[in-house]
Chain A
Amino acid sequence: MSEAVYTEDHEWLLIEGDVVTIGVTEFAQEQLGDVVFVELPELGAELGAGDEAAVVESVKAAGEINSPLDGTVSAINEALVESPDLLNIAPQSDGWMFKLSPTDELDASAFMSGDEYQQFLANNN
């Protein structure tokens, strides 16, 4: 199993061949607070890097989740619709948000490794 890579927007990506699973990090869920609603993209939607892909609403605020790459939505985590708190409980496993099929071949080195992300967090807080 490959290791997740990270973005500066506190998203994680698990790249497994033609399928990229995307969610938010532990740090992001802490910042969001109690999640009460998640709006996911539509299956088959074509997203460009930076496009709004999902919305996470916590008790206090709404946060946008942007697509980290160009791709087509191949799966969404329906469990989040019924149990939005999965995103707080297990943001980096059961609380995954959506899967993309990348338009172009993906270069994992364009993202941060787990260690680099931890360093990024340390530098920015």
Chain B
Amino acid sequence: MAPESEVSKTIFYDYHVAAGGKMVPFAGYLMPVQYSEGIMQEHLHCRDRAGLFDVSHMGQVIVRGEGAAEALEKLMPVDLQSLAINQQTYATLTNEQGGVLDDLIVTRWTEDTFFLVVNAGCKAQDITHLRKQLPDFEITYLADRGLLALQGLEAKNVMAELVPEANTLVFMNGGHASIDGIDVYITRSGYTGEDGFEISVDPADAFALADILLDFESVNWIGLGARDSLRLEAGLCLYGHDMDQQTSPVEAGIIWSISKSRRAGGANEGGFLGADVILEQIASGASKKRVGFLVDGRAPVREGAEIIDEAGTVVGVITSGGFGPTLQAPIAMGYVPTELSAIGTQLNALVRGKPRPITVTKMPLVPQRYFRG
């Protein structure tokens, strides 16, 4: 892994530059923050048509060995033993304090083979963690492999022409497939709130696959800027911002990601790092919680802005915020004491010293359109 001072490039770097991508450092990679259309248009294009994202900076990791499901369950509060082949689940890698080391998607490839997609900024740490915690298992980091996400209303129309069987997949399921002779692994998943697909591809075929997808009039490259506004509208956490080693999945409002069987009274209760803290928080509640906010007026409220109550006391902090192009309004998420987390609670966020009214709002702010069959 490159030290932080060095920047890496994904397999698609030259492709982005040729497409007008404005390249910026992100999690150790030079990535396109936007292309010539700009964040607003890219965001709307993805929702209304189809967006292509290079997410090859993320870590693609294979964990293999007899009993891998049971072993991985010690590191994440999910039920992997019941996961069907080619089914995937969202999960958190927890630490002993009940905090979150990373969030990830785990796909079962075979009985004893799991495919993990982890955050770019965490992958070195995650691989070290996996190797230390699971010394008897084969941990393979697919450093050069490409990963593309095709997201949005028309993503399925593209698949209908290229690989119709992909459209039979329901949300959070995957399978091996061939696109014009290119072997890929496709899952129905994403990070935009839209229906869509993530396609893992060998680096040798990466450009050819991008060419095939971009040949569709409906498909445009989408940069990191719109990726952020899309996931924010969809209410999805950005690791390192909305969740970190000091926050638990309960505080982050993702209790849904903890399988019932791993909770108190479940068939496979506890047994993961930080289980004592996390199960206690599920039982008694956490003292703070991540919530979504609608913002009065047009001024965006951004990460780091303090949240104050009626008395002017600082009670929380904004962890993600910006302008939602689909909503045409500023939106944010952040942490507040649980007693101030009810939908409709009125608070203020300090923007350049001035209080801006914000209201706790149900997430997602833009309805998710996942394909559930």
Given contacts A59-B39, A59-B40, contact A37 B298 (CB under 8 A): yes
CB–CB B298/A36 < 8 A: yes
CB–CB A57/B225 < 8 A: no
Residue in A33, A34, A57, A60 whose beta carbon sits within 8 Å of that of B299 in the complex: A57
CB–CB B299/A37 < 8 A: yes
Residue in A39, A55, A57 whose beta carbon sits within 8 Å of that of B323 in the complex: A57
Given contacts A55-B352, A59-B39, A60-B39, contact A37 B34 (CB under 8 A): no
CB–CB A60/B225 < 8 A: yes
Which chain A residues lie closer than 8 Å to B322 at the CB level?
A: 59-60
Q: State whether the Cβ of A62 lies closer than 8 Å to any Cβ in chain B.
A: yes
Given contacts A33-B34, A34-B39, A36-B330, contact A59 B225 (CB under 8 A): yes
Identity of the chain A residue whose Cβ is nearest the Cβ of B43 in the assembled complex: A59
How far in angstroms is the closest Cβ of chain B from A93?
A: 20
Those of B257-314 within 8 Å (CB) of chain A? 297-300, 302
Q: Do most interface residues of chain B lie in helix, strand or loop, or is the interface mixed? A: mixed
How far in angstroms is the closest Cβ of chain B from A106?
A: 29
How far is B225's CA from A36's CA once the two chains are assembled, in angstroms?
14
Give B344-357 as 1s and 0s: 1 = Cβ < 8 Å from A's Cβ atoms.
00000000100000
Q: A34-B39, A37-B297 are in contact. List 13 more A-B contacts (CB 8 A).
A: A33-B38, A34-B38, A34-B40, A34-B41, A34-B325, A36-B298, A36-B323, A36-B330, A37-B330, A57-B323, A59-B322, A60-B34, A60-B322
How far is B325's CA from A96's CA once the two chains are assembled, in angstroms?
24
How far is B223's CA from A34's CA once the two chains are assembled, in angstroms?
14
Which chain B residues lie closer than 8 Å to A55 at the CB level?
A: 352
How far is B302's CA from A57's CA once the two chains are assembled, in angstroms?
10
Looking at A34, A58, A60, A62, which has the most chain B CB atoms within 10 Å of its CB?
Answer: A60
Those of A40-61 within 8 Å (CB) of chain B? 55, 57-60
B interface, CB within 8 angstroms of A: 33-34, 38-41, 43, 225, 228-229, 297-300, 302, 322-323, 325, 330, 352
Q: State whether the Cβ of A95 lies closer than 8 Å to any Cβ in chain B.
A: no
How many A-B residue pairs have C-beta atoms within 8 angstroms? Tell me.
46
CB–CB B39/A33 < 8 A: yes
Q: Do most interface residues of chain A lie in helix, strand or loop, or is the interface mixed? A: strand
Interchain Cβ contacts under 8 Å between A and B, 8 examples: A34-B38, A37-B297, A39-B299, A55-B352, A57-B323, A59-B39, A59-B323, A60-B322
Given contacts A59-B40, A59-B325, A60-B322, contact A36 B300 (CB under 8 A): yes
Q: State whether the Cβ of A102 lies closer than 8 Å to any Cβ in chain B.
A: no
How far is B351's CA from A62's CA once the two chains are assembled, in angstroms?
11
Which chain B residues lie closer than 8 Å to A58 at the CB level?
A: 39, 323
How far in angstroms is the closest Cβ of chain B from A58?
A: 8
Q: State whether the Cβ of A84 lies closer than 8 Å to any Cβ in chain B.
A: yes
How far in angstroms is the closest Cβ of chain B from A61?
A: 8
Give A102-116 as 1s and 0s: 1 = Cβ < 8 Å from B's Cβ atoms.
000000000000000
Which chain A residues lie closer than 8 Å to B38 at the CB level?
A: 33-34, 59
Which chain B residues lie closer than 8 Å to A34 at the CB level?
A: 38-41, 325
CB–CB B225/A37 < 8 A: no
